[in-house]
Amino acid sequence: MKPEELKYAKTHEWVHVDSAEGGNGSMATVGISAFAVEALTDLVFLELPEIGKQVAAGDSLGEVESVKAVSDIYSPVTGEVVQVNEELPEALQWLGEDPYGRGWIAKIRLGDASALENLMDHTAYSKLCADEES
Amino acid sequence: MRNKHATQLIYELSQNGRKAVALPQVDVPERPVEELIPERFLAKKTLGLPQVAEPEIVRHYANLSTLNMSVDTHFYPLGSCTMKYNPKRNERLASLRGIVDVHPYQSERSLQGLLQIFFELQEMLGEISGLDAVSLQPAAGAHGELTALMVAAAYFRDLGEVRTTVLTPDSAHGTNPASARMCGFDTVTVKSTPAGFVDMEDLKSKLDDSVAVFMITNPNTLGLFERNVAEIADQVHARGGLIYLDGANMNAILGVTRPGDFGADMMHFNPHKTFSGPHGGGGPGAGPIAVTSKLGAFLPVPRVRREEAEGECSYCLDWDQPQSIGRVRSFFGNSGVLVRAYCYLRTHGPDGLREVSENAVLNANYLLSRVKHFLPVPQGDRCMHEFVASAAQCKNERGVSAMDLVKRLLDYGFHAPTVYFPLTVKEAVMIEPTETESKEMLDQFAETLFRVLEEPDDLLHEAPHTTQISRPDEVTAARKPMLRWNPSTEE
């Protein structure tokens, strides 16, 4: 997945709507951005959500722990968790090497696609990251 | 020159048949062990204990001890931990026979001295906190937090109120939300303003009738006194909630202001920080708590009480508290560090304690005034007992992180400051000099930090260069910890 084509939450999660129409019932893939992985530094633990869990945008989707801190991963979308990247907790290096590909975290069936409108495009997100840097 | 024995495991020094004991000849008939102990209780394999001679054991541990950095050997500006000097006088007094050669099952009658110390310590902590009732039982600061939250939960149960939420600022010690979750509360984070204070608007939006407790650290972890603390307390109280004060930073305000006076309902002390008990080396820590009178009935039992009869006073353990949450620690808590805290308080007295805090704040401000010129301090020009500098600029411009800088300080004989906490400051370097350091030491530290910032990037990335182990692999250590030695661990 190309970072330019994704949508982003302020809390540094990305989402890709997998089907073209993008309405309720479509699948979306969720992960955390390269900026977030860089800021967290060395990762030691990832807790994935349970399959079947209903989440609203902003709900906790899991936890990621680095040598610095434990951080929540917030769901950028509303819907049902239908698949998780089960290999990822044992291969945390993927989050650093390929955060928008092999480092995906969960696939969510959208319950309320309108929440997508609150997300940022890549340009707006890049600006947010630049502001946080300074 | 240090030799390698210092970092080898004692198991690696083992040689078959070597030993450090000489047992006398057996003076009873020898019999096979199988005749004396039923076979099912006998170990199938040998224990694999290290076989080492006495000089090797002594050298091993003596060498290991020389690798340690401690307040007795180095300046230790570990922010949030108050690594002040531990006066040797307290060690001597805490080793007196009446204190160490006693047993908790002795009669109260024969423990009067120790009980008197505990009673007076309860009274002194009550006075310093501005709160009414004290329990010495909790075994550490975080245990004090948990105990106080259990007291709060019991209080709300007694009132018949259902309150499920604990609020913590985003700059809080991680133990605050952790204690709240352990006690069954949900936690909600309250934001800080860019200046480093609790964001009053954010607090208002999160404050409702489900809030049981707002846990606040004051001075906060940025080393700033929360100017709105009284208003925060008023607002939380108006909704029926309680204020918990995390007492980690009490070293800044002893005898100057009291948590009870600025609205706290409960708090803990860290005797190993504020009252100069050793961290670890002299036995475990303690986390006594103080609470307002309306919460006193729920404190753990037993508490120490003074009784007066026919002009004689005596001390006893009071178990008769029907609303108490019960015991949270065996016997009297961790008595050793409590006795040291008592000695410290008695040595300084009320005026001396105020001077402790004044000097802790003065030292921190002096160091701040020197450090801010080369390592920015985002939250201003003044601090309480500690301040938080940021290496963010250094990281962005040169790729040199807070971790790189402080690791290099080890090479110059300074313990590293706390890094990456609080989380609200990027590349945080949290410096707390304490009152027990001289101006010369503060100058040396500031000059060294300045020099380190001028050093080449690669030298800093690879620091420390003079320690036996430079940078352990923290990720593997956290993910695949090897917690016990066995022969297969050996190459």
For the segment B339-369, what is each residue's pLDDT rounded down to a tens digit?
999 999 999 999 999 999 999 999 999 999 9
Task: Please answer yes or no on whether A68 and B475 come within 8 Å at the CB atom.
Answer: no
The dihedral over CA atoms of B103, B108, B110, B113, expressed in degrees to the nearest 10, equals 90
pLDDT, tens digit (0-9, with 9 covering 90-100), for B181-203: 999 999 999 999 999 999 999 99
Cα distances from B196 to residues B21, B190, B203, B206, B262, in angstroms, run 60, 12, 14, 18, 19
Q: What backbone phi and psi angles, to 5 degrees, belong to B154?
A: -65, -40
- Find residue A60's DSSP bridge partners: A74
- Find residue B213's DSSP bridge partners: B166, B242
- pLDDT surpasses 60 at B489: no
Q: What is the mean pLDDT of residues A57-77?
A: 90
Classify residue B414 as exposed, middle or buried by CB count within 10 Å of its CB (0-12, 13-18, 19+). buried
Of A67, A69, A134, the CB nearest to B475: A67
Give the residue among A38, A32, A2, A40 at the shortest CA–CA distance from A14.
Answer: A32
- pLDDT surpasses 60 at B277: yes
Task: Please answer yes or no on whether B474 and A44 come within 8 Å at the CB atom.
Answer: yes
Task: Please answer yes or no on whether A44 and B478 come within 8 Å at the CB atom.
Answer: yes
Q: What is the mean pLDDT of residues B136-165?
A: 97
Classify residue A20 as exposed, middle or buried by CB count within 10 Å of its CB (0-12, 13-18, 19+). exposed
Give the residue among B318, B326, B345 at the shortest CA–CA distance from B147.
Answer: B326
| Set of chain B residues whose Cβ sits within 8 Å of the Cβ of A42 | 474-475
Share of chain A above pLDDT 90, in %: 73
Q: Which residue of chain A comes nearest to B478, CA vs CA?
A: A44
Q: What is the mean pLDDT of residues B398-404?
A: 95
The span from the CA of A28 to the CA of B399, in Å, is 35
Helices and strands (H, E) in chain A, number of each type: 3, 9
Determine the 3-state secondary structure of A28 from DSSP. Answer: strand
Residue listed under structure tokens 């100058």: B443
Give the best residue of A38, A42, A43, A131 to mutate against chain B (max B CB count within 10 A): A42
Task: Please answer yes or no on whether A44 and B423 come within 8 Å at the CB atom.
Answer: no
Q: What is the mean pLDDT of residues A49-64?
A: 94
Residues 6+ apart with CB under 8 A from A19: A26, A27
pLDDT of residue B491: 42
> What is the ipTM, given to two decimal places?
0.71
The span from the CA of B316 to the CA of B304, in Å, is 6
Within a 13 Å sphere around the CA of A76, how many CA atoms are in the beta-carbon half? 27
pLDDT of residue B283: 66
Within a 13 Å sphere around the CA of B312, how many CA atoms are in the beta-carbon half? 5
- pLDDT surpasses 60 at B282: no
**Residues across chain A:** 134
The span from the CA of B233 to the CA of B264, in Å, is 7
Give the best residue of B474, B476, B480 to mutate against chain A (max A CB count within 10 A): B474
Task: Please answer yes or no on whether A45 and B479 come within 8 Å at the CB atom.
Answer: yes
Q: What is the mean pLDDT of residues B277-303?
A: 90
- pLDDT surpasses 90 at A67: no
Give the residue among B201, B199, B203 at the shortest CA–CA distance from B188.
Answer: B203
What letter represents residue A29's amino acid?
A: T
Task: Please answer yes or no on whether B475 and A45 come within 8 Å at the CB atom.
Answer: no
pLDDT, tens digit (0-9, with 9 covering 90-100), for B203-252: 999 999 999 999 999 999 999 999 999 999 999 999 999 999 999 999 99
pLDDT of residue B311: 87
- SS3 per-residue string spanning B423-472: CCCCCEEEECCCCCCCHHHHHHHHHHHHHHHCCCHHHHHCCCCCCCCCCC
Residue listed under structure tokens 């004396």: B36
pLDDT of residue B490: 47
Name the DSSP letter for residue A20.
S
Domain boundaries, chain A: 3-119
Task: Please answer yes or no on whether A133 and B396 come within 8 Å at the CB atom.
Answer: yes
The span from the CA of B406 to the CA of B391, in Å, is 10
Within a 13 Å sphere around the CA of B469, how many CA atoms are in the beta-carbon half? 10
Of B396, B423, B475, the CB nearest to A42: B475
Please, what is the average pLDDT of chain B? 93
| Set of chain B residues whose Cβ sits within 8 Å of the Cβ of A69 | 174, 420, 423
The span from the CA of B227 to the CA of B216, in Å, is 12
Domains along the sequence of chain B with CATH: 4-66 (no CATH), 88-348 (3.40.640.10), 351-476 (3.90.1150.10)
Name, of A87-91, A127-131, B67-71, B242-246, the range with top average pLDDT: B242-246
Contact of A31 with A7, CB cutoff 8 Å: no
pLDDT, tens digit (0-9, with 9 covering 90-100), for B436-479: 999 999 999 999 999 999 999 999 999 999 998 899 888 888 88
Q: What is the mean pLDDT of residues A58-68?
A: 90
Q: What is the mean pLDDT of residues B297-320?
A: 94
Q: Indicate the range of B235-244, B274-283, B336-345, B388-397 predicted with least confidence.
A: B274-283
pLDDT, tens digit (0-9, with 9 covering 90-100), for B154-190: 999 999 999 999 999 999 999 999 999 999 999 999 9
Give the residue among B438, B436, B468, B433 at the shortest CA–CA distance from B68.
Answer: B468
The span from the CA of B415 to the CA of B86, in Å, is 16
Which residues 395-434 on chain B approach chain A with CB closer than 8 angstroms? 396, 420, 423
| Set of chain A residues whose Cβ sits within 8 Å of the Cβ of B475 | 42-44, 67
pLDDT of residue B376: 96
pLDDT of residue B423: 86
pLDDT, tens digit (0-9, with 9 covering 90-100), for B32-85: 999 999 999 999 888 888 999 999 999 999 888 888 899 999 999 999 999 999
CB burial of A61-82 (b: ≥16 within 10 Å; e: otherwise) equals bbebbbebeebebbbbbbbebe
Task: Please answer yes or no on whether A133 and B474 come within 8 Å at the CB atom.
Answer: no
What letter represents residue A39's amino acid?
A: A
Q: What is the mean pLDDT of residues B115-123?
A: 97
Q: What is the mean pLDDT of residues B246-260?
A: 98
pLDDT of residue B6: 65
Q: pLDDT class for B4, splitting at 50, 70, 90?
A: low
- Name the token pair of B73: 């050997």
Q: State the CB neighbour count (10 A cutoff) for residue B21.
A: 5
Task: Please answer yes or no on whether A42 and B420 come within 8 Å at the CB atom.
Answer: no
At the topology level, CATH places domain A3-119 in: OB fold (Dihydrolipoamide Acetyltransferase, E2P) (2.40.50)
Task: Please answer yes or no on whether A68 and B420 come within 8 Å at the CB atom.
Answer: yes
| Set of chain A residues whose Cβ sits within 8 Å of the Cβ of B174 | 69-70
